[in-house]
Amino acid sequence: MTQSRTHTCNALRLANVGETVTIVGWYDNMRKVSKNLGFLILRDFYGTTQCVVETEEMMEALNGVNNESTLSVTGVVRERSNKNPQIATGDIEVAPTEIKVLGKCIYNELPFEISRSKEADEAVRLKYRYLDLRNPAVKEKIILRSKIVAEFRQSMIAHDFMEITTPILTCSSPEGARDYLVPARNHPGKFYALPQAPQQFKQILMTAGFDRYFQIAPCFRDEDARADRSPGEFYQLDMEMAFASQEDVFEVIEDVIPPIFAKYGIYKKVSSAPFKRISFNDALAVYGSDKPDLRIDLVLTDATEVLAGCGFGPFEGNSVQAIVVDGFTATRKVIDKIMADCEMISGQKGYWFKLDENGELVGGISKFLQENKAAVIGKLGLKPGDFVGLTAGKRLTALKSAGVLRKLLGENCEKHKKNDCYEFCWIVDFPMYEMGEESGELEFCHNPFSMPQGGMDALNNQDPLEIMAYQYDLVCNGVELSSGAVRNHDPEIMVRAFDIVGLKEDDVKAKFPAMYNAFCYGAPPHAGVAPGVDRMIMLIAGEESIREIIPFPMNKTAQDVMMGAPSAVDPKQLADVHIAIVEEEK
């Protein structure tokens, strides 16, 4: 052992009794019994050791020393009379002969108790993240992250992938979020962009003849935070394969990911290969979501035919989606909360009724269904005791809100949700195009670099809204882990695909000059995917917030409150990069 210590605070055992040792770490706590007797707990990265202070001289060395100061303790190891089986060093203790203060904590009071930092306000935890990380329960998640990333790296190399790092300073790319821009000092008025993903670079690597690429890639997107998304930056297990199909990508991912989830996850049951494949349209129709939680066995039923004309205003002229739940015994208070939560999350109200044990429709909107009772029961296949949740609106709106209601109902009915497993699936056959909600014009649905199913023939002869793409999402327990695609490597097909959304050949050449030109020199068919590292670790660790598994996360408004970023800069720095800040007129 180096660093002026002979052992860590987790290393000493009965075999070390009688040895003179030096241990270092943080002053965790001290229980003083008298002026010449106290029990000091020393904590380092590895664990804790009890030191029994038995002389006035050693007690004096600790006078005025605050908790969380760093200490060096030299002393003799001996067997404890009152052993502590809860810690690895619980059979021994150290009797100090020398105590040195290596680093003083000058504050008498800490922002929070280290061992209970997770109970503190998140803003305080992030401001004092270096103290928060001293909490073993917090630190363990970062250690877990390191182990998992190392396993991913080893597994990809074992599958013959080569790790290649791609540039951080690059040009803007249409990945669907706002770019972070970096002014170019030597090129006034021009900007670099931090990469939203290494998309173009990894495709160019395929054209350069590299067969299998991967990296643990940093990605930067100026987007709002969510529980499963960190603002600013995140990491993904980025990969690409030359001369590969969709199934080739699936085979690799299905071989790499499950063993790591099984080894480190809080659940040991993991989907085995091949993962379930669900088309985008089926996912919406059956689960009301393109990232369905397959631990919940509830499905949607289109009840428009029997309910749209029942006389209930919100159903009139709309699509009506139903979720039938047997064995649902929730109280009225719980039901009302589920319906309110559905509206809060989806923006659409949830409705309900029951078929009681006497075969009568009761509760919720049941009074509107009495005249058509037999048809309702028949269409939905109801049995006495069944509960029915409902949503309504334009078809897509009704489906998505029903997906939210399905999840809420599943989470409140143990019979219909498995809680001890990781359920993976692939969502496939995404539409190539969609009508933009804001623009009202034809737009790419997902990745614009995807290969359309049917190639040039489909682009020339099919309704654009009916063209499917070789795009796919990996989903686990209702969380989207990644998007991927078979890439459009043919310049002619690429130009035609962009032409459909109003971008001409000159636009394509101007926006993607390197990739377009590279493809003109003989590009191989290629495909890839990029599972989010942060999201995977969040699921593996069983955390609800992604910030718990990131060493130095930003807060919900993309601020680093520990470092004070973003911050104002000196006017000279702005002048060097040819930027002037213009105040908005009030």
- Count CB-CB contacts under 10 A for residue 121: 10
User: Is the separation of the CB atoms in 127 and 111 below 8 Å?
Assistant: yes
Residue 239 CB neighbours (<10 A): 25
What distances in angstroms separate CA 449 from CA 174, 201, 207, 210, 407, one per listed residue?
Answer: 10, 13, 14, 19, 32
Token pair of 249, please? Answer: 């990508």
Query: For position 124, what pLDDT does the model report?
Result: 97
Helix intervals (H) in 330-484: 332-346, 373-380, 395-411, 455-461
118: Cβ contacts below 8 Å, ≥ 6 apart: 125, 135, 137, 138
18 CB neighbour count, 10 Å cutoff: 9
* Angle 525-529-533 from CA coordinates, rounded to 5°: 155
- Mapping DSSP onto H, E and C, the string for 418-458 reads CCCEECEEEEEEEECEEECCCCCCEEECCCCCECECCHHHH
Q: Note the pLDDT of residue 274.
A: 96
pLDDT at 438: 77
- Residue 138 CA to residue 231 CA, distance in Å, equals 20
Q: Which candidate, 523, 507, 529, 476, places its Cα nearest to that of 198?
A: 529
Cα distance between residue 219 and residue 195, in whole Å: 6
CB 361 within 8 A of CB 367: no
**pLDDT score of 174:** 60
Rounded CA separation 339/318 (Å)? 19
Divide the 586 residues of the chain into consecutive groups of 10 and give the mean pLDDT of each group.
84 97 96 92 97 94 95 97 94 97 95 96 96 97 98 98 96 76 92 93 96 96 78 94 97 97 96 96 97 97 93 94 94 95 95 94 94 94 96 96 97 92 97 86 88 96 96 97 95 94 90 92 97 97 94 92 93 90 81
How far apart (Å, rounded) are the C-alpha atoms in residues 521 and 8? 58
The domains of the chain, with CATH numbers, are 14-103 (2.40.50.140), 138-276+423-572 (3.30.930.10), 296-417 (3.30.1360.30)
SS3 content of the chain, % helix, strand, coil (to 5): 35, 25, 40
